[in-house]
Amino acid sequence: MRISHRWLSEFIEVGDIEADRLGDLMSSLGHEVESIERLERPFENVVVGRVTAVGSHPDADRIRLCRVSDGADEVDVVCGAFNFEADAMIAFARPGAVLPGGFEIGTRTIRGVVSNGMICSESELGLGQEADGIWVLPDTAEIGADLAEALGYPDVIFDVAITPNRPDAMSVHGIARDLAAKLELPIVSPETRRVAAGQPSSVRIKIADARGAPRYVGQEVSEVKAGPSPLWMQARLSSAGLRPISNIVDITNYVMLELGQPLHAFDLDRVTDGTIEVRRARAGESLETLDGVTRELSTDDLMITDGGGVVALAGLMGGGESEVSGETTRVLIEAANFDAPTVMEASRRHGFRTEASARFERGVDPELPPVAAARATHLMEELAGGTAAAEAIDVYPEVIEPVSVELGSKLLRRILGDEVSIDLAAKLLVRLGMGVSGDDPLTVSVPTFRPDISRPIDLIEEVARLHGLDKFEELGARVGPSGGLTHEQRRLRRLRSLLAGAGLSEAYNLSFVGLDALSLLGLDPADDRMDPVRVTNPLREDQGALRTTLLPGLLASASFNVNRGASGVSLFEIGTVFFRRPSPLDPAIPDQPAHLGFIGVGGVGLSNLGSRERPSDGFSAVGIVELLSRELGIEGVNFTQVDEAPFHPGRAVAVTVAGVRIGIVGELHPAAARASELSGRVVAGELQLAPLVEVVTPWAFVEPSPFPPEIFDLSFDLPVGVASSDLRDTVRSAAGDLLESADVFDEYTGDGVAVGRKSLAVRVALRAADRTLTGDEVAPLRAAIAASVVDELGGELRGEL
Amino acid sequence: MESFEDLLETGPQRIALAESLDELEAVEGELIGKRSAVAETRRTLGTLPPEDRPVVGARLAAVTGQIQGMIATRREALQREAEDRLLREDAADLTLPLARQVRGSQHLITTIIDEVSDIFAALGYRVATGPEAETGWHNFDALNTPPTHPSRQENDTLYLDYGDPADEILLRTQTSPMQIRHMLANEPPVYVVVPGRTFRADTLDATHSPVFHQIEGLAVDTDISLGDLKGTLAHFAREFFGPGREIRLLPDFFPFTEPSAEMLVSCFNCEGGDPSCRVCRGAGWIELMGCGMVDPAVLSGVGYDPDVFSGFAFGVGVERLAMVRHGITHIRHFFENDVRVLEQFR
């Protein structure tokens, strides 16, 4: 909300407080000042003038020669605009005037005629958009008045963010009231006009739904002359961000900004039968609101109706039919209290908000309507020539009483410490307009303009706020009894560090996936990754669902980097994926496990001179998993060749830990890579995170043997489908306890090996903990290993045993 | 054949003139080898009169020892020269980037989360994480945010088409629902920080992203007051932005804390004196996070007695911390995964 310093000063003496300090005070009260705008005088020597005569220019028909009076003198001024005639009030820049941009006005000769100044348009004065013609001022403007002064310059505008719990602060007067409490200054009430009782109005008002409309005040004002509102009022509305419309409408808006009570003005002659009823809409009713939109109404919508049907959507916007116009002479001012949830729901239902609804949805003071109506009545008499002949009608079926809340010193001390005594709290609450009685606990009567206060803690907040949060002592850091990271959290950090150490950089992708991106993976339609949890109200189509796999995000990230010239990209991501099945944590929410994903494109390592670079390929994918399993002590990791989208049919392996599958790594199918504009071999993998971080590494120490190892190589001719890991595993189980290591170190196909066969060589190291192995011990083991490879894998030993 | 006594005359010069290890070996053979005068003398030692034998024997050993010493010295010198020659040939320009070690990087958000977690872990707080797809009850109701609260409107919250509509499954708009899960699962006292991913129905601009990260802090005990909140946040500010930082609280509103405040930290960049400061623009203060005393309604909602327990909570944006501290200009840098950005932060 934009608050004018001058306007504020009408209610509270803050004239000698520097603007920055005043802004800081508002912020310290919880009304955060987001910006302070200093409105300096935009021009000098521009006054309100009156055109006394308009004549044609002797030598030109595109310009006219005018006589302009500034109240003292009358001079000739040449003007090129045609949107005014004699008697128009205008903005007159006298010779010597300086307009925005340093543009100086002098006496000039235009086509042979002397022009003593300039009649200005709004844009020339820096006040408005480029428009046809000059600025015609309202007739009420005072001739000779300094125009900058009449427009309220100079001023300071505070842009204040009002928190949703403070409807009372959504007005100039409300802010002034809070400042007055802080500064212990008196606050002035605005001038109002109340018509004495006994002069009944012809209008009849009925509330049929007291829950939706607890109170409705209607004030009839007659003999109104519609026209523009005075300059100062227009300027204030503009500085607050509202567009001036006409004196009647401007007055209702002005009072709303000033007091926080939204008002509506009906043309009383267009209110059928002069009756108003507040009720819910009936099925099938519709209303064309002032913005020209025809709105189909819900039976939950609270409506203002007259003898002919609906005329306004309560708290949001009036209808076109009863709108005030240039012909309006009788006005009905509506100052009502509408139920906050009712207005909020209507606003949501119809998809728009107004200045009025923004206030009603927070809860307007039910005591405000008569005050605001009297204020508007005063202004209509003063500024629109109106007469209030009849008393206001105030329908208030069930008076809303101030609530009473108790506050004791025990709770006060628990929340605020020793800084504020109960006595000081009482004084602070009184300054905020509360009625306080008792010593401890205090019994506090909360004014109706503070609907946010109903509990002791609400009073404590007020006490702390007014006292000033800066005054509370900063104690030491509050220390907990025990804490730190869990086993899993520590292992997760180690896992990240390992991956970074292996040359991968950590990526963070958004948690969304578009159905298009998912379909590019070529998954089986029955795969649960193809049925993601949808976002009900996505902002973009590619954010329409929650990711079921990290791969699309990683593909996009890799592609992003390649498109920006990166020759090789290696990324990993640890993030949540979502599935349409109940979470083990809470059956109400979807399952959302964390996954580890990675991608590699182009070379791994460096690509200069010595070329330590080697291409990313499926072997690097398995290498990453082996690194993790070795370094994190994950036992029982196995790989099984699989043919599954989106991976390469012959270069991907499922990863199992102790027989349970945790993911898949390998090379992506070229089609999936191409879909992300990637070429060459693209390495990727996706694993469940939990099995990697939940493992508890055994504590047992293995004493290194002081005895020498027995090392020998065996070479086998094997069917081509046998994986090196199969050979390694077979050797391991055949070798038994004496095995120290078994590493496949050579693969060969070609000359000397039959088609459909390959040769694999394995180096076996045996060692005993308590003795040097003898040839007699080793030979049978060597034979047993060979035999089991022959039997189990269909191998043939190459060479001698 | 010359007498072995002549060795001391000619030997030293011959040793010194040997230019290679091979030459030296030849000289050694001639001087003290099997066919040398020394060897001959040793062989004939037995033919000498017994009384002469010790004298001649001792003299022989002394001469031989001297010559051997000279040869050993010369051999060392020649070996050193040979190695020096080899090493000179082995010289290389080690500034060629042939063996640069390549390391990847950890994401800055991870680093900041770890850093903040460590600050609080050191104070005895636990670190907990919770679900990103949440129920409306955990994200709103239990946090004292009634259905009519503006933040429950669709234009702020992303809702999910999942489960029982009554559960209002959504993407959590804050890490605060984990306050609820953590308190429901633990008895007081509670000291915990919750880092995690959060979501809003925001279009990407310089400071907003539909996905961002927060770290929530929660302390509930029998004797926690506003001064504890101030002290804890001041400690955090000094650990994270450096010693000498001051903090300020301005009243604010959050449904689940009361009193609520916005926490500001004094500018670490300009100390408040520079109107063109990239961090605070001269304000001297940087808005950092929301905080407050836990609302009694939240405590009673999880079965904690608000007449016995009180606490504070705060929530800080991780991207905000990173942007402020490192001068990052646009939030997209956190999610584009441009390696030129990622690799700036290890």
CB contact (8 A) between residue B342 and residue A505? yes
Tokens standing for B94?
Answer: 């080690």
Reported confidence tier of residue B1, pLDDT bands at 50, 70, 90: very low
Q: How many CB pairs under 8 A join A and B?
A: 278
Which among A18, A15, A52, A20 is positioned nearest to A33, based on CA atoms? A20
Reported confidence tier of residue A330, pLDDT bands at 50, 70, 90: very high
Mean predicted confidence (pLDDT) in A490-507: 95
ipTM of the complex: 0.89
Q: Are A405 and A241 in contact (CB under 8 A)?
A: no
What is the Rg, in whole angstroms, of the alpha carbon atoms belonging to chain A? Answer: 41
Q: What is the pLDDT of residues A743-789, one digit of tens each?
A: 999 999 988 889 999 999 999 999 999 999 999 999 999 999 999 99
CB contact (8 A) between residue B191 and residue A483? yes
Testing the interface with B: which of A357, A410, A460, A508 to mutate, by most B Cβ within 10 A? A508
Q: A103-112, A115-124, B211-220 — which is least confidently predicted? A: A103-112
pLDDT of residue A653: 96
CB contact (8 A) between residue A417 and residue B227? yes
CB contact residues (below 8 A), chain A span 583-622, against chain B: 583, 585-586, 588-590, 592, 604-606, 608-610, 612
Q: Which residues of B touch A477 (CB under 8 A)?
A: 123, 231-232, 234-236
CB contact (8 A) between residue B98 and residue A510? no
Q: A227-236, A520-529, A709-718, B28-37 — which is least confidently predicted? A: B28-37
Q: Which residues of B touch A485 (CB under 8 A)?
A: 117, 121, 127
Burial class (CB in 10 A: 0-12, 13-18, 19+), A101: exposed
Of A415, A543, A592, the CB nearest to B133: A592
Q: Is the pLDDT of residue A606 over 50?
A: no
Reported confidence tier of residue A613, pLDDT bands at 50, 70, 90: low
Reported confidence tier of residue B146, pLDDT bands at 50, 70, 90: confident
CB contact residues (below 8 A), chain A span 511-550, against chain B: 511-512, 533-539, 543, 546
Mean pLDDT of chain A: 93
Nearest-Cα distance to chain A for B84, in Å, is 27
Using H for helix, E for strand and C for coil, what is the string for A488-519? HHHHHHHHHHHHHHCCCEECCCCCEECHHHHH
Residue A257 gets which letter from DSSP? Answer: H
Which among A490, A486, A530, A504 is positioned nearest to A597, based on CA atoms? A504
Q: Are A458 and A447 in contact (CB under 8 A)?
A: no
A312-321, A790-799, B127-136 — which one is most confidently predicted on average? B127-136
Q: Is the pLDDT of residue A432 over 80?
A: yes
Q: Residue A408: closest CA among chain B residues belongs to which residue? A: B307
Q: A123-132, B163-172, B252-261 — which is least confidently predicted? A: A123-132
Mean pLDDT of chain B: 92
Reported confidence tier of residue B21, pLDDT bands at 50, 70, 90: very high
What whole-number distance in Å separates Cα of residue A280 and Cα of residue A301?
5
CB contact (8 A) between residue A474 and residue B227? yes
Nearest-Cα distance to chain B for A353, in Å, is 12
Q: What is the pLDDT of residues A678-699, one digit of tens each?
A: 998 999 999 999 999 998 877 8
Tell whether A406 lies on the interface with B, counting CB pairs under 8 A.
no
What whole-number distance in Å separates Cα of residue A76 and Cα of residue A68?
6
Please state whether beta strands A505-506 and A569-576 pair in parallel, antiparallel, or not at all (unpaired). parallel
pLDDT of residue A130: 65
pLDDT of residue B147: 81
Neighbours of A16 (CB within 10 A): 5
Q: Is the pLDDT of residue A794 over 50?
A: yes
Nearest-Cα distance to chain A for B149, in Å, is 9
pLDDT of residue A614: 64
Q: Which residues of A touch B114 (CB under 8 A)?
A: 493
Q: What's the pTM value of the predicted model, to 2 decimals?
A: 0.88
Q: A104-113, A139-148, B306-315 — which is least confidently predicted? A: A104-113
SS3 A730: helix
CB contact (8 A) between residue A460 and residue B259? yes
- What count of residues does chain A have? 801
| Residue A32 host element (H or E) | strand A32-39
Nearest-Cα distance to chain B for A446, in Å, is 17
pLDDT of residue A659: 93
CB contact (8 A) between residue A500 and residue B106? yes
Please state whether beta strands B190-199 and B126-127 pair in parallel, antiparallel, or not at all (unpaired). parallel
Which among A260, A242, A262, A244 is positioned nearest to A252, based on CA atoms? A262
Nearest-Cα distance to chain A for B108, in Å, is 9
- The backbone region for A604, taken as left when phi is positive above 0, alpha when psi lies in -120 to 50, beta otherwise, is beta
pLDDT of residue B12: 87
Of B98, B162, B211, the CB nearest to A609: B98
Q: What is the pLDDT of residues A57-66, one digit of tens each?
A: 777 778 899 9
Q: Is the pLDDT of residue A5 over 50?
A: yes
Of A543, A560, A578, the CB nearest to B338: A560
Q: A281-290, A432-441, A600-609, B317-326 — which is least confidently predicted? A: A600-609
Reported confidence tier of residue A126, pLDDT bands at 50, 70, 90: confident
Q: Is the pLDDT of residue B303 over 50?
A: yes
Tell whether A192 lies on the interface with B, counting CB pairs under 8 A.
no
Q: Is the pLDDT of residue B2 over 70?
A: no
Q: What is the pLDDT of residues A540-590, one digit of tens each?
A: 989 999 999 999 999 999 999 999 998 889 999 999 999 999 999 999 999
Q: One-letter amino acid identity for A144? A: G
Q: Which residues of A touch B332 (CB under 8 A)?
A: none
